[in-house]
Amino acid sequence: MHKDTFEPKDILAAVDGSFTTTDALREAVLDRLCAGDTQPVQGFFAAHHPADTANFLGALNTDEICEILRLLRLRDRAEVFGYLPEPLQIDLARCLGRKEFAAIITEMSADERADLFNRLSEEQQEALLPALAQAEREDIRLLSAYEEGTAGAVMTSEYVTLPPDLTAREALDKLRREAPDKETIYTAYVIDAERRLMGVVSLRELILAGPGARVANLMERNVIFGSVGDAREDVARKIATYDLLALPIVNGNDALVGIVTQDDAMDVAEEEATEDFHKVGTVGRLATGLKDAGVSLLYRKRVLWLVVLVFGNIFSGAGIAAFENTIAAHVALVFFLPLLIGSGGNAGSQSATLMVRALATGDIRLADWSRMLGKEALVAGALGLTMAVAVSTIGLVRGGPEIAVVVSLTMVLIVLVGSLIGISLPFLLSRFNLDPASASAPLITSIADAAGVLIYFAIATALLPIPAA
């Protein structure tokens, strides 16, 4: 690890993964590059995982990254490149020469290559294609045809297939020959002459079997598979449910066309959870991480919902205006307004959060609606009563017994209505094939606010004495 060329503390920082924040290391590397002293830099990066190297390079400018990438061995270069964020990859495509870029892209895994290709400008794509070999051109053409967000778009074509009549020994020989070009050799797929999926066999089973055993007798015939058009989150969930290393993907003719590996499924699951998180917080889909998102991108992703909610709140305002006389006669009612409508919104966001996540993880299905609604009514009733007790004491102190009754009664109703809205909206959205995660806390809050204002002042007007205007 060339301990003599960098400060020990830098090495230490590098080893525990936090070295992206040590500016000292960045300067040390750049100093050596300027001085033409490339060997220690090369050694330093060779000793690190490509993910760490990529993380470090992310803090440098494009020219510096190009220079360091050129110092690495081609295979490492492609691996590091694959771990860089996509916008940076596209910038680098410009700064690296066409041939250099083609060499890197050839070494990348088939799915990463197709993803990157899809994001290049048409001009860049046209410049790149002639520099690639026939096999890679064909692969890109096949993989980049699928719509984003589908199984087709995340799958890779680098898997091993076996005919059913091979022996275990022959199958192992084939795996060994093809290993260098395949994403995984731990699961092999048995197909017929039309590439239809007949079974799946693991390397573990092939190794344990006698050398003369037939693949057809070793393979598992009840294969769990996905289709190219499946949503990528469904594929990820299947891999998690069945603890698979990879899921085979078939096309409309039941022919095997790719696999989705577990590590890609894990990335998909994380991205989908982040997207749901942001939706629940009424933030639009960010293509980059929050750290790299610019001010104007963040503004655009947030402003829409905020303005929609402003206009949504007009209903609450209109509700209040309708009860102007009641308010003028009992200004003390206003003290409890934020508390009451806030509580309805809070209870509603709780229900919506539970429901959105349960629908996303598959814990709850559409058919469970009526059961969940009944349960929610019980839970919300109990919550409303508890909160009514809490608020009645405040009501007594601040507004007297009449106000306390109005406020307590309102609390029970508001929590019940808010919760039932919160639990129903995700179901309704899901029913109409919309994303349940759009039933965000702020949306629920706005609806619960308007309902709450009406409930509160209607009860107050009915129970409290109002002098003629």
**CA distances in angstroms from 394 to 333, 336, 400, 406, listed in the order given:** 12, 9, 9, 12
Q: How far is the CB of 203 from a second copy (least distance, A)?
A: 7
Question: Which residue in 130, 212, 338, 465 binds a second copy (CB under 8 A)?
Answer: 338
User: Does 180 interact with a second copy (rule: CB under 8 A)?
Assistant: yes
Question: Which residue in 7, 63, 148, 363 binds a second copy (CB under 8 A)?
Answer: 363
**Rounded-to-integer distance, Cα 266 and Cα 263, Å:** 5
Question: Which residue in 242, 252, 465, 467 binds a second copy (CB under 8 A)?
Answer: 242
**Rounded-to-integer distance, Cα 458 and Cα 322, Å:** 10
CA angle 62, 68, 72 (to 5 degrees): 135
Output the DSSP codes for 322-352: HTHHHHHH-THHHHTHHHHHHHHHHHHHHHH
CB nearer to a second copy: give 335 or 464. Answer: 335
Residue 425 exposure: Cα atoms within 13 Å on the Cβ side:
27
For the chain, the 3-state helix, strand and coil shares in percent, each to the nearest 5, are 70, 5, 25
**CA distances in angstroms from 82 to 16, 113, 143, 280, listed in the order given:** 22, 9, 17, 31
Q: Angle at which helices 50-57 and 74-83 pack, to 10 degrees?
A: 60
CA angle 90, 275, 421 (to 5 degrees): 155
Q: How far is the CB of 247 from a second copy (least distance, A)?
A: 12
- Please provide residue 257's backbone torsions phi and psi, each rounded to the nearest 5 degrees: -125, -10
Give residues 435-464 in contact with a second copy (rule: CB under 8 A): 441-442, 445-446, 449, 453
Question: Which residue in 11, 129, 245, 373 binds a second copy (CB under 8 A)?
Answer: 245
CB nearer to a second copy: give 36 or 242. Answer: 242
User: Does 12 interact with a second copy (rule: CB under 8 A)?
Assistant: no
User: Does 203 interact with a second copy (rule: CB under 8 A)?
Assistant: yes
Residues written for the chain: 469
* Stretch of residues binding a second copy (CB under 8 A), selected from 36-44, 143-151, 178-186, 211-219: 178-186
- Please provide residue 332's backbone torsions phi and psi, each rounded to the nearest 5 degrees: -60, -25
CB nearer to a second copy: give 114 or 200. Answer: 200
User: Does 61 interact with a second copy (rule: CB under 8 A)?
Assistant: no
Question: Which residue in 339, 373, 405, 466 binds a second copy (CB under 8 A)?
Answer: 339
26 and 59 Cβ atoms separated by less than 8 Å: yes
User: Does 125 interact with a second copy (rule: CB under 8 A)?
Assistant: no
User: Does 210 interact with a second copy (rule: CB under 8 A)?
Assistant: no
- 3-class DSSP state for residue 60? coil
Question: Which residue in 68, 175, 198, 414 binds a second copy (CB under 8 A)?
Answer: 175
**Rounded-to-integer distance, Cα 403 and Cα 396, Å:** 7
Question: Which residue in 287, 314, 428, 462 binds a second copy (CB under 8 A)?
Answer: 314
CB nearer to a second copy: give 153 or 171. Answer: 171
267 and 274 Cβ atoms separated by less than 8 Å: no
CB nearer to a second copy: give 178 or 402. Answer: 178
Residue 413 exposure: Cα atoms within 13 Å on the Cβ side:
16
Question: Which residue in 7, 12, 31, 51 binds a second copy (CB under 8 A)?
Answer: 51
Q: How far is the CB of 289 from a second copy (least distance, A)?
A: 4
User: Does 391 interact with a second copy (rule: CB under 8 A)?
Assistant: yes
CB nearer to a second copy: give 131 or 320. Answer: 320
CB nearer to a second copy: give 32 or 238. Answer: 238
Q: How far is the CB of 51 from a second copy (least distance, A)?
A: 5
Residues paired with residue 196 on neighbouring β-strands, in sequence order? 255
User: Does 243 interact with a second copy (rule: CB under 8 A)?
Assistant: yes
| Residue type, position 38, single letter | T
Tokens of 70: 């050129």
User: Does 208 interact with a second copy (rule: CB under 8 A)?
Assistant: yes
User: Does 342 interact with a second copy (rule: CB under 8 A)?
Assistant: yes
Q: How far is the CB of 35 from a second copy (least distance, A)?
A: 26
User: Does 218 interact with a second copy (rule: CB under 8 A)?
Assistant: no
Give residues 273-312 in contact with a second copy (rule: CB under 8 A): 273-274, 276-278, 280-283, 289-291, 295, 298-299, 302-303, 305-307, 309-311
Q: Which helix (H) or strand (E) holds 269?
A: helix 262-280
Tokens of 341: 């409508």
